[in-house]
Amino acid sequence: MQPRTLALTGIAVGAAATLGGLGSRPAESSWYRSLEKPPYQPPRQVFPIVWPVLYADVAVVSAATLSATKDEHERRTYACALAANLLLNAGWSWVFFRRRRLGAAALTAGALAISSADLTRRSSAVLGPKALPLAAYAAWTTFATVLATHVWAINRT
């Protein structure tokens, strides 16, 4: 893996995490506390543990994928898919917490889950089993889609 590529994916993932974090600040608002949540909603303490691990997976596996991809067009296509994924990732917090658009947030989460599965597929085609850590990101974003959709459904008025 090329150190420059890891630095670039790390910067991109860090930017998405920062932007998403800024959008998540209203998570402590009375509006968010007033929402009904499903019984399987993880406790608040889980998120600051899970997300950094997943973000590290995305940065490292994506850097390895980009470094191992010999075809320039495929490398660019992967980089674009990663950028779209990170925009969806950061954007979800803004749609959910800032705009309070639960239905749109559920759709954004679904698009993020599809995008995450696509990144995993693309990385697996290049790296084989070494891409497996990225599957955790796809699984978590799929769980987040189920959760966001359920929150939307039980809070529709």
Residue 33 backbone phi and psi in degrees, to 5: -60, -30
pLDDT truncated to tens, each residue of the chain (157 aa)?
799 999 999 999 999 999 999 999 877 789 999 999 999 999 989 999 999 999 999 999 999 999 999 999 999 999 999 999 999 999 999 999 999 999 999 999 999 999 999 999 999 999 999 999 999 999 999 999 999 999 999 999 7
Place of tokens 């990101």: 137
Distance CA 72, CA 114 (A): 24
User: Model pTM greater than 0.85?
Assistant: yes
pLDDT of residue 29: 87
Place of tokens 């974003």: 141
